[in-house]
């Protein structure tokens, strides 16, 4: 048992399993953190690029719409069929100018494509020059010089408006290209996350597989060693039981043959002395008392010899042995024992008889010492396929799974294993304990062979 505990402590897979579990948990945490960072970055990218680009495109379209409105207005101003003077277009130009300035301000804040200061200055300067030319054109119209005003529209304003339209059209194209690049970057992020997911899954499954293989290998090694220890323990138990039976048989024979013969001889000598002593002499009385002591010692030695190893075990069958043994237990313990036999008896080899007898002996010892019961039942059943033995009492009872067992129950279990049978401790409906031994008939015949 000590060696088994040492093996479990020395070769337990706990450290390796904890290491594998730690690596797997660390991988899960690391990948979760990585995925969170990637998703956050992707969300930020969508906010910074996609959403801003969409809003920026809307403002650029708004600017282009205002520039187109200016182009249409200037075309109408040059058309001689309009009945209005040129300065009548001032409110419309002012409205477009206000909307255009607002759109430019918002677009500058949302612009995804960051322009250089020179580019920003160029757009601002072009827009300012355009509106300066518009102001001069309307100034000429207010003085009544509409022909000069139309000439300035043709020579200056339309060209500036076209240049501004071209500039913002280019910005819109760049913005659309940037949206495509953003979509490509988002696709790359998704692809990278997907690849990392596959790598993580492969790594995690590999870790689980390696940990499981390590656990299986460790368990197989431990169970193999425990199985070997169990076999060694069983062999040792059988050897100890065999040595015990051999010792008990030897001591029983020594008591019966040596001490019994010595006490018998002493009794014979004392009886001879008693016959030669005078009838009423004190010596005759003393010798008679010595004879009684010698006979009592002889009876005790024979009883002790039978208790250690009944000679009837070597000469008779199990039923006759129990027929002799159970009344003896009744006389010494005061427990009433009901003995029942059923079925067609089949012969048991000597070793099997000894083990069954010892199981009955130990079970009844538990009844007389621990149960507190006044009655017990012993049932011997010869079945077609097995031999069954029950020892039942209705005393205090115990459970072999919860109670602290002594060497007696261990010996019962080991003897049942030697016989190739099973033993179990049950609780009858009336309470107490029922020890049931079952030996398959083929195991009995195997021991007989």
Instruction: Report d(CA 95, CA 72) in Å as an integer.
Output: 14
User: How many domains, the chain?
Assistant: 2
Residue 106, CA distances (Å) to 90, 239, 326 in order: 24, 99, 111
Instruction: Report d(CA 132, CA 152) in Å as an integer.
Output: 12
In a domain, 123, yes or no: yes
Pick the residue with more confidence: 1 or 219? 219
Sequence-distant (6+) residues with CB within 8 A of 39 are 193
In a domain, 274, yes or no: no
Structural domain span for residue 434: 310-448
Instruction: Name the domain boundary from 217, 237, 267.
Output: 217
209 with 322, same domain: the answer is no
Q: How confident is the model at residue 211 (pLDDT cuts 50, 70, 90)?
A: confident
| 340: its two tokens | 């029942």
Q: Cα-flanking dihedrals φ and ψ of residue 98, to 5°? A: -65, -45
High-pLDDT (> 70) share of the chain, %:
81
Q: Which residues pair with 381 in a beta bridge?
A: 342, 388
pLDDT at res. 423: 92
In a domain, 115, yes or no: yes
pTM assigned to the model: 0.51
66 with 196, same domain: the answer is yes
In a domain, 434, yes or no: yes
Per residue in 338-368, pLDDT tens? 999 998 888 888 778 888 888 988 888 888 8
Q: Cα-flanking dihedrals φ and ψ of residue 190, to 5°? A: -60, -45
Task: Residue 98: give its domain's CATH number.
Answer: 1.20.1330
Per residue in 95-104, pLDDT tens? 999 998 898 8
Lowest mean pLDDT, pick from 108-112, 174-178, 342-346, 394-398 = 108-112
In a domain, 442, yes or no: yes
pLDDT at res. 437: 92
205 with 315, same domain: the answer is no
Per residue in 138-173, pLDDT tens? 888 888 888 888 888 888 888 888 888 888 888 888
Establish how many alpha carbons lie within 13 A of residue 444's alpha carbon, considering only the half-sphere containing its beta carbon: 21
pLDDT at res. 381: 92
In a domain, 261, yes or no: no
In a domain, 291, yes or no: no
Neighbours of 276 (CB within 10 A): 9
CB 112 within 8 A of CB 56: yes
Q: How confident is the model at residue 402 (pLDDT cuts 50, 70, 90)?
A: very low
Q: How confident is the model at residue 448 (pLDDT cuts 50, 70, 90)?
A: low
Task: Residue 420: give its domain's CATH number.
Answer: 3.30.565.10
Q: Which alpha helices (DSSP H) does 367-440 contain, by range?
A: 407-418
Q: Which alpha helices (DSSP H) does 11-116 contain, by range?
A: 14-45, 52-78, 90-110
| 325: its two tokens | 């043994």
CA-based max dimension of the chain: 187
Instruction: Name the domain boundary from 217, 233, 255.
Output: 217
69 with 190, same domain: the answer is yes
Q: Which residues pair with 435 in a beta bridge?
A: 391, 425
Instruction: Name the domain boundary from 162, 192, 217.
Output: 217
In a domain, 294, yes or no: no
pLDDT at res. 376: 92
């Amino acid at each position: 048992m000590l060696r088994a505990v040492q093996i479990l402590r020395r070769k337990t897979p706990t450290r390796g399993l904890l290491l594998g579990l730690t690596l797997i948990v660390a991988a899960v945490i690391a990948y979760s953190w990585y995925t969170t960072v990637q998703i956050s970055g992707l969300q930020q990218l969508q906010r910074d690029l996609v959403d801003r680009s969409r809003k920026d495109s809307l403002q650029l379209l708004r600017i282009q719409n205002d520039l187109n409105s200016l182009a249409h207005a200037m075309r109408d101003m040059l058309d001689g069929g309009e009945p209005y003077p040129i300065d009548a277009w001032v409110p419309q130009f002012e409205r477009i100018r206000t909307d255009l300035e607002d759109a430019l301000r918002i677009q500058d804040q949302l612009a995804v494509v960051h322009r250089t200061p020179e580019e920003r200055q160029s757009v601002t300067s072009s827009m300012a020059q355009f509106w300066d030319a518009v102001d001069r054109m309307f100034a000429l119209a207010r003085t009544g010089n509409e022909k000069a005003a139309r000439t300035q529209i043709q020579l200056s304003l339309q060209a500036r408006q076209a240049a501004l339209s071209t500039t913002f059209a280019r910005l819109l194209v760049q913005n659309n290209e940037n949206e495509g690049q953003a979509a490509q970057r988002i696709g790359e992020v998704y692809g990278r996350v997907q690849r990392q997911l596959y790598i993580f899954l492969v790594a995690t499954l590999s870790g689980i597989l390696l940990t499981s293989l390590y656990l299986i290998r460790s368990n197989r090694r431990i169970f193999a060693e425990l199985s070997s220890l169990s076999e060694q323990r069983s062999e040792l138990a059988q050897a100890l039981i065999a040595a015990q039976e051999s010792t008990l048989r030897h001591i029983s024979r020594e008591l019966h043959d040596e001490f019994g013969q010595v006490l018998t001889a002493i009794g014979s000598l004392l009886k001879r002395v008693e016959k030669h002593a005078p009838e009423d002499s004190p010596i005759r009385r003393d010798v008679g008392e010595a004879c009684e002591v010698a006979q009592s010692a002889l009876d005790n030695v024979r009883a002790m010899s039978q208790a250690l190893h009944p000679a009837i075990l070597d000469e008779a069958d199990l039923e006759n042995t129990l027929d002799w043994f159970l009344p003896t237990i009744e006389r010494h313990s005061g427990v009433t024992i009901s003995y029942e036999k059923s079925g067609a008896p089949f012969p048991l080899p000597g070793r099997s008889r000894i083990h069954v007898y010892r199981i009955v002996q130990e079970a009844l010892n538990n009844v007389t010492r621990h149960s507190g019961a006044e009655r017990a039942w012993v049932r011997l059943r010869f079945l077609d396929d097995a031999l069954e033995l029950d020892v039942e009492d209705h005393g205090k009872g115990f459970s072999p799974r919860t109670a602290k067992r002594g060497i007696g129950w261990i010996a019962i279990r080991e003897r049942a294993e030697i016989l190739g049978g099973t033993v179990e401790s049950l609780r009858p409906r009336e309470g107490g304990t029922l020890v049931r031994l079952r030996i398959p008939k083929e195991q009995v015949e195997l021991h007989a062979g």
